[in-house]
Amino acid sequence: MAQPFYITTPIYYVSDVPHIGHAYTTVAADVLARWRRMHGDDVKFVTGTDEHGLKIQRAAEQRGVAPQEWVDQTAQRYREAWAGLDITFDDFIRTTEPRHAAAVAEFLQRVYDGGDIELDRYEGQYCVACEAYYNDDELIDGNCPIHNRAVDHVVEENYFFRLSRYEQRLLDYYEANPQAVRPESRRNEVLGFIRQGLRDFSMSRTSITWGVPLPWDDRHVAYVWFDALISYCTAVGFGSDQNEFDKFWPANVHLMGKDILRFHAVFWPAMLMAAGIELPQQIFAHGWLLVGGEKMSKTTANQIAPATLVEEFGVDGFRYHFLADQRFGPDGDFSYESMVLRYNSDLANNFGNLANRVLNMATNYCDAAVPGVRADGPLQSAAATAATEASRCMDNLDFSGALNATWELMNAANAYIEASEPWKLNKAGDANACAAVLGDCLEALRIATLLAAPTIPNAARELWVRLGFADTPADQRLPEALQWGGLPAGNRLVKGAPLFPRKEVAE
């Protein structure tokens, strides 16, 4: 029986257009989804857009268009961006869809009936960019601590979610489930936040209409975060398809940036507890992608559209860079120069050269057929180590670690070619020895290709054909296909143009 595996990205705000920060999370989720599919899992990979709330309403007003028109246009920009990065999502959830309104209504009603939503009065500070309330002591010089801009003073009669009742239950839950928030530093941050004491929060608005009406009081719409988080349930059938929901819920992993950790690790689990729904197995909050050491923002005009880099480095070049260049967890800095350097060293030189050399030599010296793989070839242990280590890293969402382990295998194969000099063996007429070396290198290349396939799917698919296979890397079943010796003798080899042409370093 195929195991269900449910993975989500945040649903992105349509007040903005996609940049490399959004792409970073989405590519990572895609790589994990592809990796699990190669293991035969029944994967549900969901991304989408967050389309309600004051921030979106204002973005539409500023452009003089109706909110629905604005969200339709911008959601489309996200779909296009993901198509341009070969993102294989199984569903794209939009919070303005009818299925979501149904799910939110059912969810809210459950929480309301359970007694954890009550009418109350609120006076305080609100940051529209965060769509979040702040206490005075959290502000910096009176400004939002995240966006460094003025907050709105609001006085409202709203429905409140009784988050304070969940303090101890959340602490107990995280105590019993140490893997529920990763990495460890984020878990500690969450525990620290909860221990400071949780306050009830206002979960409805009367000041705006752009939202999902509360089922018991339609003068109010749901607070955008309350609405948005529920999308994770909507996408797997909550409120519409119980079988689907039973199959995929709880989510295996919610991926996100550290900016929205509290919403996911404090609000969301409490909301689920209040609705009597199981909690997600894991919340993984990665670090911030900086540009020139700074956060990307519209005001500093340092937002980079993924398409700009894809044009230059290709889809695979883009995907590879962001996952290999920084550890998935801490903050990392993007620079164009380091992207060129890494592309040249890892993709053009290491991977590209290995593929070219081995395929060229095997074509010339072995009549373009796989000569066979030795049962105990000298690259076998390097291949086994790479497979084990890359798999372990992938299971821990350590993408750079997994790529590192894979590239170690390529290093070993390149070094083996240098040391055994098959061109000399061929010249000396030692066809058997030459074939033995090349057979093992082709097999190492096959295994490295499978390990790299989720990250660089296009190059992997092309290489797979050049190795003489009629299917694709995605059709292979892991871990079996990572066993040494899987490359059939006699497979017809194909030479081809470099997969990653070298880049000149631009001035």
Catalytic residues: 19, 22, 127, 130, 144, 147, 295, 298
User: Comparing C-alpha atoms, which of 463, 469, 468 is closest to residue 497?
Assistant: 463
Closest approach, Cβ 29 to ligand ME8, in A, equals 9
- Taking Cα atoms as reference points, which of 457, 462, 465, 468 lies closest to residue 491? 468
DSSP character string of 457-500: HHHHHHHHHHTT-SS-GGGSPTTGGGSTT-S-TTPBP---S-SS
CB of 290 to ligand ME8, least distance (A): 7
- Find where tokens 């020895």 sit: 433
Would you state the structure tokens that stand for residue 461, as one six-digit string? Answer: 């698919």
Nearest Cα residue to 409 out of 430, 386, 388: 386
Which residue, 239 or 371, is less far from ligand ME8 as judged by CB? Answer: 239
User: In whole angstroms, what is the distance from residue 411 CA to residue 405 CA?
Assistant: 10
144: left (phi over 0), alpha (psi -120 to 50) or beta: beta
Which CB sits closer to ligand ME8, 267 or 416?
267
Per the structure block, which two tokens stand in for 492?
Answer: 């017809």
- DSSP H or E run through 28: helix 20-38
Given the structure tokens 């899987």, which residue do they identify? 486
Applying CB under 6 A, which residues contact ligand ME8? 10-13, 21-22, 24-25, 50, 228-229, 231, 256-257, 259-260, 288-289, 296
Please say which residue, 260 or 412, places its beta carbon nearer to ligand ME8: 260
Give the residue at shortest CB distance from ligand ME8: 21
In angstroms, what is the minimal distance from the CB of 155 to ligand ME8? 26
Please say which residue, 204 or 380, places its beta carbon nearer to ligand ME8.
Answer: 204
With residue 158 as reference, give the H or E element that holds it: strand 152-161
Which is closer to ligand ME8, CB of 260 or CB of 403? 260
The whole-angstrom separation of Cα 92 and Cα 90 is: 7
Least separation in angstroms between CB 254 and ligand ME8 = 8
CB of 428 to ligand ME8, least distance (A): 55
Nearest to 177 by CA among 281, 319, 302, 52: 281
Which CB atom, from 290 or from 481, has the smaller least distance to ligand ME8?
Answer: 290
Torsion of CA 99, 104, 107, 112, to 10 degrees: -150
